[in-house]
Amino acid sequence: MSYEEWLSSTITDWLFFNSWWLLLPFIMLLVVAAFIVAFVLLLYMISPLISPKPLKLNGAHVVVTGGSSGIGKSIAMECYRQGAFITLVARDESKLVQAKKEVEKCAINDKQVVLCISVDVSKDYRQVESVIKQCQEKLGPVDMLVNCAGTSFSGKFEEVEVEVERFRSLMGVNYLGSVYPTRAVITTMKERRMGRIMFVSSQAGQIGLFGYTAYSPSKFALRGLAESLQMEMKPYNIYVTIAYPPDTDTPGLAEENRTKPLETRLISETSGVTQPEQVAKIVVKDAVQGNFNSSVGPDGYMLSALTCGMSPVTSITEGLQQIVTMGLFRTVALLYLGSFDSIVRRCMIEREQSKAADKRE
């Protein structure tokens, strides 16, 4: 072999060898991408096999606390449209009567019944247990309990009512008002090896915001209850859903707005207001499916993914989505938090400048 032929062969071999090295990263990227796609498809296919069997609402007995208005009434109407028998529980008898008439308009057959019970679910457990027993005797065992009784309040920490009674009352209504009805139905559900329990929390139960030092803790508490209860009840085919609705156009929001600090109002306006009918459709669907987290809208989805922590999942795909989106959502959340801090700081400066101007006058 001549020198020229040897040199040409050597250069050709070198180029061939190095071209593979240049292509290797792209080949590895394609292999990884193909593996991820195959893995996602596999998860998508097996996910229905490990998810709970959906609850059929047609003929089911659904108890809704706080069912005389707002989200609770809309949830009752949504369940009634799907053929459920409804027990409405609330304190105000006149509102209950009106709510019953509105729910009955959503009937899909003449066998459906709406039962009303007036009781404060946060005061006396024995009384709550008694009324739950009464409604089960009339309409059968409770298939789904919706804990929607609650109240809201916003105000600066140091300005909350004297002797911090507001903190005690909010924890009583928003937390114990869900504990007592749940305790009253859980034994029968375990015996039947089936059931759904929904806790209606709030996005303020996922993130603590200015003005919610009394309200947010009472809603955060529901998550701890829901997570612990789900671990206990899952072997009995009982599934817990915790819903995190945003600001919703209800009488409760109107009442809260009367005392809402400027900072809280400006922060709340960044996400807008949702209609109770929209919230009801989403949370009822999630409860029927047995999903643990129920969120509304893009902001709600992001918050649920960000705050999922050690919360249970009912499908592998849900867990994968949380893993994949966590970093991106955290980046977006930091931008939101920065804007919230800016609002608070700006309001403080304006308030101090106003006070200084008043003193000069």
Active site residues: 201, 215, 219
* Tokens found for residue 206: 């996922």
